[in-house]
């Protein structure tokens, strides 16, 4: 396995770059693929080859054919998704006989955990606490919970970056949403407490890596751009129980809420990599745990992590708006730049080109930078299969 070829998809993401560096450092040949022309990970010394793919959301058939040709042509043995393209790859592996292994569960389970209502039902069936969650598929369903709106959170079943979320809205604000079987929503009891994000790797239901963290700054309402490691036994028990109960193989992440009494409840699940990966820096130990069924690896970095460019774009405006400049300055001093890696400086410079490409999409489509960063890989449920 030491000289095997691994394909990492989602090369636009810092987590893809980080994973490539870890696997390359452990002797793997790493190929990266994605649909942008110049993603940051393509500039890394860890990248043996970058292959540009058609956008899966808009050219699904061409995407599948390109992935299969790449896997066969390069002798790839394992494909590791890092972003939302995992659902398109799950469909591909479901529908075709692929020569490589996909580091993910089957498509049915991927869709189940990404569905905010089905995930809650699955979690409850494993004996874990969940917030009350109701599926909304019609105006009648919405009307049934209208009187309770001030104690509920409303969000689309398929959504990302906390987009379209209504937090304890007035009943009148519910007039703006129209749930349907094709575009369902959930109404979930609002849970108070401290939010914890979890990144995990599991093999056949056994936990192989776990990074728990909290975000100090976010890109809008979405992904953390400055975050610190935390420890929480209840959160660990939740993740262990979930991956064991589902027999999970692959990467998985959770948004959890730690209530005042210590109980942990899940808000949602994403079956892909998230920022907790950046707390792992030992290539050999991480790769052995992830790919060779080695012992569980623990985070080996305790310093807060950040992407400074993202902090200037998103963190500084938030600090100015809420008059928290000193807090912003302290966070910038205390955190390590997560793009830094010994002997591999190019990705840090490449982030400017990657940002320019995203900004171009943002301007052309009249959407936010955050929406532009995932527009071509978004997956909005099995009805689009």
The pLDDT assigned to 217 comes to 86
Q: Choose the weakest-confidence range: 72-86, 226-240, 272-286, 307-321.
A: 307-321
User: What is each CA distance from 249 to 69, 75, 252, in whole angstroms?
Assistant: 25, 22, 9
The pLDDT assigned to 163 comes to 64
- Where does the chain show beta strands of DSSP type E? 5-9, 29-34, 49-52, 78-80, 101-102, 133-136, 152-156, 166-167, 185-189, 194-203, 206-218, 224-229, 250-258, 264-270, 305-306, 336-337
Confidence grade of residue 71 (pLDDT, cut at 50, 70, 90): very high
Q: Is the pLDDT at 145 greater than 90, yes or no?
A: yes
Calculate mean pLDDT across residues 230-239.
Answer: 97
The pLDDT assigned to 383 comes to 57
Q: Is the pLDDT at 45 greater than 80, yes or no?
A: yes
Distance CA 361, CA 138 (A): 33
Confidence grade of residue 246 (pLDDT, cut at 50, 70, 90): very high
- What share of the chain in percent tops pLDDT 70? 97
The pLDDT assigned to 1 comes to 56
Of residues 384 and 233, more confidence is placed in 233
Of residues 247 and 372, more confidence is placed in 247
The pLDDT assigned to 162 comes to 62
15-34 pLDDT tens trace = 999 999 999 999 999 999 99
Q: Choose the weakest-confidence range: 69-83, 226-240, 264-278, 363-377.
A: 363-377
The β-bridge relationship of strands 194-203 and 133-136 is unpaired
The two structure tokens encoding residue 248: 């999970």
User: What is each CA distance from 70 to 2, 8, 94, 383, in whole angstroms?
Assistant: 20, 12, 18, 27
194-231 pLDDT tens trace = 999 999 999 999 999 999 999 988 887 677 889 999 99
Q: Is the pLDDT at 149 greater than 60, yes or no?
A: yes
Distance CA 187, CA 133 (A): 6
Calculate mean pLDDT across residues 153-166.
Answer: 82
Mean per-residue pLDDT of the chain = 93
| 212 close to 196: Cβ distance less than 8 angstroms | yes
Confidence grade of residue 369 (pLDDT, cut at 50, 70, 90): confident
The pLDDT assigned to 161 comes to 61
Confidence grade of residue 256 (pLDDT, cut at 50, 70, 90): very high
Confidence grade of residue 323 (pLDDT, cut at 50, 70, 90): confident
Q: Choose the weakest-confidence range: 39-48, 241-250, 362-371.
A: 362-371
- What share of the chain in percent tops pLDDT 90? 82
DSSP-assigned beta bridge partners for residue 306: 226, 337
Q: Is the pLDDT at 385 greater than 60, yes or no?
A: no
Computed over its alpha carbons, how large is the radius of gyration of the chain? 20
Confidence grade of residue 319 (pLDDT, cut at 50, 70, 90): confident
């Amino acid at each position: 396995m030491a000289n095997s070829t691994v394909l990492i998809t989602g090369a636009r993401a810092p987590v893809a770059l980080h994973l490539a560096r870890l696997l390359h450092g452990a002797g793997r040949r790493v190929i990266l693929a994605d649909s942008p022309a110049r993603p940051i990970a393509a500039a890394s010394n860890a990248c043996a080859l970058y292959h540009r793919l058609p956008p899966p959301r808009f050219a699904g058939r061409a995407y599948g054919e390109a992935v299969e040709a790449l896997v066969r042509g390069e002798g790839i043995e394992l494909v590791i998704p890092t972003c939302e393209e995992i659902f398109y790859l799950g469909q591909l592996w479901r529908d075709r006989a692929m020569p490589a292994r996909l580091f993910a569960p089957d498509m049915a389970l991927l869709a189940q955990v990404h569905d905010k209502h089905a995930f809650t039902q699955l979690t409850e069936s494993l004996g874990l606490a969940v917030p009350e969650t109701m599926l909304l598929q019609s105006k009648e369903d919405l009307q049934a919970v209208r009187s309770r709106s001030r104690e509920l959170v409303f969000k689309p079943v398929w959504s990302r970056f906390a987009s379209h979320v209504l937090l304890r809205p007035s009943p009148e604000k519910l007039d703006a949403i129209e749930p349907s079987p094709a575009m369902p929503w959930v109404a979930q009891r609002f849970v108070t407490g401290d939010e914890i994000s979890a990144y995990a790797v599991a093999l056949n239901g056994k936990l192989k890596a776990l990074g728990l963290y909290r975000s100090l700054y976010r890109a809008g309402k979405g992904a953390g751009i400055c975050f610190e490691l935390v420890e929480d036994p209840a959160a660990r028990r939740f993740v262990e129980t979930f991956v064991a109960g589902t027999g999970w193989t692959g990467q998985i992440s959770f948004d959890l809420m730690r209530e005042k009494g210590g109980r942990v409840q899940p808000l949602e699940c994403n079956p892909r990599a998230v920022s907790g990966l950046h707390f792992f820096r030992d290539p050999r130990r991480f790769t052995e745990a992830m790919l060779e069924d080695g012992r569980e690896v623990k985070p080996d970095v305790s310093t807060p992590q950040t992407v400074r460019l993202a902090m200037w774009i998103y963190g500084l405006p938030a600090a100015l708006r809420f008059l928290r400049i000193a807090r912003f300055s302290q966070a910038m001093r205390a955190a390590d730049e997560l793009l830094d890696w010994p002997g591999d400086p190019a990705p840090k410079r490449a982030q400017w080109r990657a940002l320019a490409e995203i900004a171009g999409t943002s301007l052309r489509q009249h959407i936010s930078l955050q929406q532009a960063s995932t527009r071509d890989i978004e997956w909005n449920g099995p009805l689009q299969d």
